[in-house]
Amino acid sequence: MRRATAAGPLQWTRRPHLCQRVQVLLRSGYARYCNKPAAHSQAKPLLTLAIETSCDDTCVAVLEKHGNAARLLFNQKITSDNRKFGGVEPVTAAESHTANVAPLVQAAVRALPRGDWRGISDCPPESDEMLAFRRKPDFISVTRGPGMASSLSVGLTMAKGLAVAWQVPLVAVHHMQAHALTPRMVNALEHTLPQPNPEYPFMSLLVSGGHTQLLLSRSVTSHSILAEAKNIAIGDMLDKCARAILPADVIAQAGDVMYGALLETFAFPPSDPAPSSSIDPSIIKDPYKLTPPLPDTTTTTSSSSSSRDQYEAAAAQQQKHGYIYTAPARRADEIKPYCSPTYGWILTPPLADRREMAYDFSGFGGQVQRIMQQNPAMDVPQRRALARETMRIAFEHLASRIIFALDDLCGAREKAAAAAAATQLELQIQHHQTIQPELEGTQKPNTGPLLVVVETLVVSGGVASNSFLALVLREMLRVRGHGPETLRVVRPPARLCTDNAAMIAWAGMEMYEAGWVSRVDVLPQRKWAMDDAVVVGNNNGDRSSGGGVVVVAGGEGEDEGMKGGILGVSGWESRWAPHIS
Ligand code: AMP
Ligand code: ZN
Domain spans in the chain, listed from the N-terminal domain onward: 2-33, 46-196+499-526+566-574
Integer Cα distance of 58 and 158 in angstroms: 12
Crossing angle of helices 234-245 and 259-267, in 10° steps, is: 60
Architecture of the structural domain at 46-196+499-526+566-574: 2-Layer Sandwich (3.30)
Provide the residue count of the chain.
581
Q: Which atom of ligand 1 is nearest to the CA of 260?
A: 12
Beta strands in 371-465 (DSSP E): 456-460
**Is there a contact between 131 and 109 (Cβ–Cβ < 8 Å)?**
yes
Integer Cα distance of 540 and 305 in angstroms: 48
Q: Using one digit for the tens of pLDDT, what is the confidence trace for 138-167?
A: 999 999 999 999 999 999 999 999 999 999
H helices, E strands: number in the chain: 17, 21
Q: Using one digit for the tens of pLDDT, what is the confidence trace for 236-270?
A: 999 999 999 999 999 988 888 889 999 999 998 86
Residue 519 makes CB contacts below 8 A (sequence gap 6+) with: 170, 571, 572, 573
Running DSSP on this structure, what letter comes out for residue 460?
A: E
Ligand nearest the Cα atom of residue 507: 2
Residue 416 has pLDDT above 90, yes or no: no
Q: How far is the CA of 453 from the centre of ligand 2 (A)?
A: 27
Which amino acid, residue 532? D
Q: How far is the CA of 492 from the centre of ligand 2 (A)?
A: 13
pLDDT of residue 562: 64
Backbone angles phi, psi at 336, to 5 degrees: -65, 135
Cα 30 to Cα 2, 3, 33, 39, 122, distances in angstroms:
16, 15, 5, 17, 17
Q: Please, which pLDDT band fits residue 457 given cuts at 50, 70 and 90?
A: very high
**Is there a contact between 358 and 229 (Cβ–Cβ < 8 Å)?**
yes
Q: How far is the CA of 100 from the centre of ligand 1 (A)?
A: 22
Q: Please, which pLDDT band fits residue 432 given cuts at 50, 70 and 90?
A: low
H or E, element range at 32: helix 29-34
Question: Of the ranges 38-47, 198-207, 285-294, 488-497, which one carries the lowest mean pLDDT score?
Answer: 285-294
Q: How far is the CA of 384 from the centre of ligand 1 (A)?
A: 18
Q: Which atom of ligand 1 is nearest to the CA of 499?
A: 4
pLDDT of residue 561: 58
Nearest of 537, 522, 533 to residue 569 by alpha carbon: 522
Nearest of 62, 147, 206 to residue 509 by alpha carbon: 62
Q: Which atom of ligand 1 is nearest to the CA of 465?
A: 19
Residue 230 makes CB contacts below 8 A (sequence gap 6+) with: 358, 359, 360, 362, 543
Q: Using one digit for the tens of pLDDT, what is the confidence trace for 290-327?
A: 333 333 333 333 333 344 444 455 455 445 445 478 99
Residues 505, 510, 512, 513, CA torsion sign: positive
Q: How far is the CA of 57 from the centre of ligand 1 (A)?
A: 12
Q: Please, which pLDDT band fits residue 193 given cuts at 50, 70 and 90?
A: confident
Ligand 1 pocket test, pick from 238, 460, 468 with the greatest ligand atom count within 8 Å of Cβ, gives 238
Q: How far is the CA of 57 from the centre of ligand 2 (A)?
A: 10
Work out the percent of the chain whose per-residue pLDDT is above 90. Answer: 59
| Integer-rounded Cα radius of gyration of the chain | 27
Integer Cα distance of 245 and 235 in angstroms: 15
Pairing of strands 46-52, 139-145: parallel
Residues 494, 497, 500, 504, CA torsion sign: positive
Nearest of 345, 360, 388 to residue 245 by alpha carbon: 388
User: Which has more confidence, 505 or 438?
Assistant: 505
Half-sphere exposure of 91 (CA within 13 A, CB side): 1
Residue 124 has pLDDT above 60, yes or no: no
Q: Share the mean pLDDT of the chain.
A: 78
Ligand 1 pocket test, pick from 296, 463, 495, 496 with the greatest ligand atom count within 8 Å of Cβ, gives 463
Q: Residues lining ligand 1, CB < 6 A? A: 208-210, 235, 238-239, 258-261, 264, 461-463, 465-466, 498-499
- In this structure, the number of other CB atoms found within 10 A of the CB of residue 49 comes to 30
Q: Which atom of ligand 1 is nearest to the CA of 259?
A: 12
Residue 477 has pLDDT above 60, yes or no: yes
Residue 39 DSSP SS3: coil
Q: Which atom of ligand 1 is nearest to the CA of 497?
A: 3
Q: Using one digit for the tens of pLDDT, what is the confidence trace for 29-62?
A: 223 323 333 334 456 899 999 999 999 999 999 9
Cα 546 to Cα 177, 178, 533, 549, 550, distances in angstroms:
25, 29, 10, 5, 6
Indicate which residue's Cα is closest to atom 14 of ligand 1: 463
Integer Cα distance of 156 and 239 in angstroms: 28
pLDDT of residue 153: 98
Q: How far is the CA of 147 from the centre of ligand 2 (A)?
A: 9
Ligand 1 pocket test, pick from 258, 259, 264, 268 with the greatest ligand atom count within 8 Å of Cβ, gives 258
- Which residues have their alpha-adjacent CB atom under 5 A from ion ligand 2? 208, 499
Q: How far is the CA of 455 from the centre of ligand 2 (A)?
A: 24
